[in-house]
Structure 1
Amino acid sequence: MQIAEFIEKVQTSKDTIRYYEEFNLIDPIKKGNKRVYTEKDIYDFYIIREMEALGLTIKEIQTIFHIKRSMGFHSPTLLQGTKDRLYASIMKIEKAERDLSTRKMKLFTLISKLEEIAKVDNQ
């Protein structure tokens, strides 16, 4: 399929596809000066999006794709690196949850104090 059909299938822009191509994440077959996209490219696109949603940078995704292409999915380096990055993401999320919980408690404390002040003023 050509880029217009590919873009329609994955619901993105031409700029996004070209950006991923620039980092060798999407690698269409070249026929003359045309690019032909396959189901593999669609699959890769969705994997890239999932990794981005998990917080991986484009460079980290590029590294994973490079290892995948050179050593395969079952590469210990790929598996361990991906696992480490996912654990790091979990740690960041847990810290953000703790920070939000602390902020929430401070806001409740402030509300409580404001309610006490309002009671004193109304008496």
Structure 2
Amino acid sequence: MPTPVATDLDRTWTIREIADEFAVTHRTVRHYEDLGLITPERRGTTRVYHRRDRTRLALILRGKRLGFPLEEIRTIIDLYDRPRGRASQLEYVLGQIDERRTDLEQRRRDLEDAITELAEFERRCRADLARLS
């Protein structure tokens, strides 16, 4: 009887491998597990991460980099498991992207205004200092 061939789909990772790959701490990985965002298999006290966990962690970290709160990330990830799966997930994400972009553009305008105001304040302070010297 031939030995079953393990495929890349069967690959598993340890917490160390997952944490190293995504440049996060073990504590961060465990935190996402505690929140139910990833659900590694348990073999005794050892966590075994499957492709699904790895994909979900990548999505979590991407969402965090883009500024999404964890509950929004959870919604986006959980939509994938629903009947319409990927389509409903993408529709939801597109709406969230629009909201996030609008928020970031407003923040950029606010920062640009603050920098302009700061430059003007600096100019006046330097002028006052020059008059006092």
In structure 1, the gaps of 5 or more residues are none
In structure 2, the gaps of 5 or more residues are 1-12
Q: Deviations over 1:30-59 (max 9, x none)?
A: 446643212332222121101011111111
Within 1, Cα distance between the matches of 2:109 and 2:19? 39
Q: Deviations over 1:1-45 (max 9, x none)?
A: 332333333332222222212233212234466432123322221
Alignment of 1:80-91 (within 5 A): 80-91=91-102
RMSD, aligned α-carbons: 2.3
Assess if the C-alpha contact under 8 Å between 2:38 and 2:57 holds in 1. Answer: yes
Partner of 2:112: 101
Aligned residues: 120
Provide the secondary structure at the position in 2 that maps to 1:69: coil
TM-score where L is the length of structure 2: 0.73
Residues 1:51 and 2:55 aligned together: no
1:73 to 72, 77, 86: 86
Distance 1:40 1:112, change over 3 A: same
Letter of the structure 1 residue corresponding to residue 120 of structure 2: T
Identity, % of aligned positions: 24
Letter of the structure 2 residue corresponding to residue 36 of structure 1: V
TM-score where L is the length of structure 1: 0.77
Assess if the C-alpha contact under 8 Å between 1:54 and 1:86 holds in 2. Answer: no
Letter of the structure 1 residue corresponding to residue 114 of structure 2: R
Higher mean C-alpha displacement, 86-95 vs 6-15: 6-15
Q: Which has the higher helix share?
A: 1
Higher mean C-alpha displacement, 98-107 vs 28-37: 28-37
